[in-house]
Amino acid sequence: MPETVSTAGVSGPHDAEITAALGTRSVVLVGMMGAGKSTIGRRLSARLRLPFLDADIEIETAAAMSIPEIFEAHGEPHFRDGEARVIARLLDHGPAVIATGGGAFMREETRNRIRLQAVSIWLKADADIIMRRVKRRVDRPLLHTADPAATVGRLIEEREPVYRHADLTIWSRDVPHEKIVEECIDALHARLCAGGTAAAAQETTETPGTLDATR
Ligand code: S3P
């Protein structure tokens, strides 16, 4: 079920323009666990006045099981197949802001669908921030290892070259959430609206927290 968040008092000059330019395309957030995809996604959806969909929650609803239960009962490959199906369905019902699980973008078929039906944002986060955030929760089966920090390091190494294929990159760091949301809005506007292409964005240099238009 799509979630909605109160938008009272929150809006910016570009919000409606971005939503219009998206048409039926969604905004898809990708990146590591703990990067803030759900937190930022929920706020971004409120700004754009679009439904917010959390792919992990949609998978749990479809399976009537929690993610740890799916991993435990059926294994990761089964979870990944279900994840790909759910994301394909969500993309077919855009526009929305969709937060994906950290492994979803690793599947080529899902990346292709996202490229065609959405604008993707990689929320890039450092290992220490990820570790600090994921420590608060125990519901990530991939981190049920003897050395979760080493596992996060390995996943970052494997995944970052693939996350890099997202349309936009925003540095997720310890600043107020609204700042990250604002950076997402600016990056979306530069890509979708300013001049109609990414041309305006190409002048932006890659610095933490800004659009990387070179990808
Ligand atoms: C996973 C991330 C989780 C969830 C599952 C697997 C991953 O989602 O999909 O535990 O492979 O990184 P979040 O990124 O929302 O934590």
Written as one string, the DSSP assignment of 95-145 is: S-EEEPPTTGGGSHHHHHHHHHHEEEEEEE--HHHHHHHHTT----GGG-S
Ligand 1 atom nearest the C-alpha of 134 is: 16
Instruction: Please check whether residue 70 is in contact with residue 77, taking contact to mean a CB–CB distance below 8 angstroms.
Output: no
Q: pLDDT above 90 covers what percent of the chain?
A: 80
Window from 5-9, 12-16, 40-44, 193-197 with minimum mean pLDDT? 5-9
Q: 14-23: per-residue pLDDT in tens?
A: 999 999 999 9
Give the ligand 1 atom nearest the CA of 159.
12
Q: Whose CA is nearest to atom 3 of ligand 1?
A: 101
pLDDT of residue 138: 79
Ligand 1 probe mutation, 42, 54, 56, most atoms within 8 A of CB? 56
Which residue has the CA at smallest separation from atom 10 of ligand 1? 140
Residue 89 has pLDDT above 80, yes or no: yes
* Cα 59 to ligand 1 centre (Å): 11
Q: How many beta carbons lie within 10 A of that of residue 122, not counting itself?
A: 28
- Residue count of the chain: 215
Ligand 1 environment, Cβ below 6 A: 33, 37, 56, 67, 101-103, 140-142
Going by CA atoms, what residue is nearest to atom 8 of ligand 1? 101
Cα(193) to centroid(ligand 1), Å? 32
90, 142, 156, best to mutate for ligand 1 pocket (most atoms within 8 Å of CB): 142
Q: What is the pLDDT of residue 153?
A: 97
Of 30, 33, 143, 152, the one to substitute when testing ligand 1's pocket (max ligand atoms within 8 A of C-beta) is: 33
Q: 30 pLDDT exceeds 80?
A: yes
Cα(157)–Cα(67) distance, integer angstroms: 23
Which residues neighbour 182 within 8 Å (Cβ) at sequence distance 6 or greater? 12
Q: How far is the CA of 101 from the centre of ligand 1 (A)?
A: 4
Largest distance between two CA atoms of the chain: 51
CA distance 215 to 161: 11
Render pLDDT for 151-206 as a digit per residue (tens, 0 to 9): 999 999 999 999 999 999 999 999 999 999 999 999 999 999 976 444 444 433 33
> Is residue 77 scored above 50 in pLDDT?
yes
pLDDT given for residue 5 in this prediction: 52
Measured over the CA atoms of residue 90, residue 31, residue 26 and residue 39, the dihedral's sign is positive
Q: What is the rounded average pLDDT for all residues in the chain?
A: 89
pLDDT reported for residue 201: 43
Q: Whose CA is nearest to atom 9 of ligand 1?
A: 101
The predicted pLDDT at position 213 comes to 32
